[in-house]
Amino acid sequence: MKETDIISGGEKKLTACIGDGLADQSHPLATLAYSDRIVGIIGDDHPAVCKAASRDLGILTIPVISEGFNRNKSEKY
């Protein structure tokens, strides 16, 4: 992620990283996608991106929300 992704949102970038990067190169059965404080501040819908990746790519993509100010890592989506 770069500064421009933080300002304008990173949902498209995350989708591309999961699809083009991870799925095409490694072909995993599952992956974890961690978010951080910035995702919570700018309001990206991290769980929705992970759900779409699971559905569209056939890779179980689990969102791990670790913003540190309004949720904990054990909360389920």
Strand spans (E) along the chain? 30-35, 60-65
Tokens of 12: 């498209």
Which of 10, 15, 11, 42 shows the shortest CA–CA distance to 31? Answer: 15
- pLDDT score for 5: 58
CATH numbers and ranges of domains, the chain: 3-65 (3.40.50.1980)
Model confidence pLDDT, tens digit, residues 36-56: 777 777 778 889 999 999 999
Contact present, 32 and 49 (Cβ < 8 Å): no
Give the SS3 label for residue 24. Answer: helix
**Model pTM above 0.85:** no
